[in-house]
Amino acid sequence: MTTLLNRFTDREKILTTLSASTMFVTGVWVGVWIVPSAALDVPMNSHFDGRQMVNTPAYQPVPTYLPVLSILVVVFALYAANHFYSRESPPELAATDGGEDHDE
């Protein structure tokens, strides 16, 4: 029984991996950006640090892990695409996949 992953060519795996990661990261950030700014109007905590009054947000409106997660998803997708790209494939498969068989 062949799995769904084995049915794709390496090129399709690369394109799917890069497209999915790009859509995921873009969708997450667009989702954050479409929230109205009034909804992200965070209450502030004020305290005196000895010289001046310091205002800090009571909470972070955007999770602090979001930029890190975005970078990790892109790095993982690039690694997976490189893995699929650098795998050796037999010449007959390359020829049927649009490549050229130079051994003839």
pLDDT in tens, 64-97: 888 899 999 999 999 988 887 777 555 555 555 5
What is the pLDDT, as a whole number, of residue 85?
79
Question: What global pTM score does this model have?
Answer: 0.60
% of the chain exceeding 90 in pLDDT: 22
- Establish if 78 belongs to a structural domain: yes
- Establish if 77 belongs to a structural domain: yes
Indicate whether 19 pLDDT > 90.
yes
- Host domain of residue 13: 9-24+65-88
Identify the residue with better confidence: 57 or 26.
26
- Establish if 14 belongs to a structural domain: yes
Domain count, the chain: 1
Please tell me the distance from the alpha carbon of residue 91 to that of residue 100, in angstroms, as a whole number: 8
- Establish if 82 belongs to a structural domain: yes
- Establish if 19 belongs to a structural domain: yes
- Establish if 34 belongs to a structural domain: no
Measured at the CA of 28, the angle between CA 27 and CA 29, to 5 degrees, comes to 95
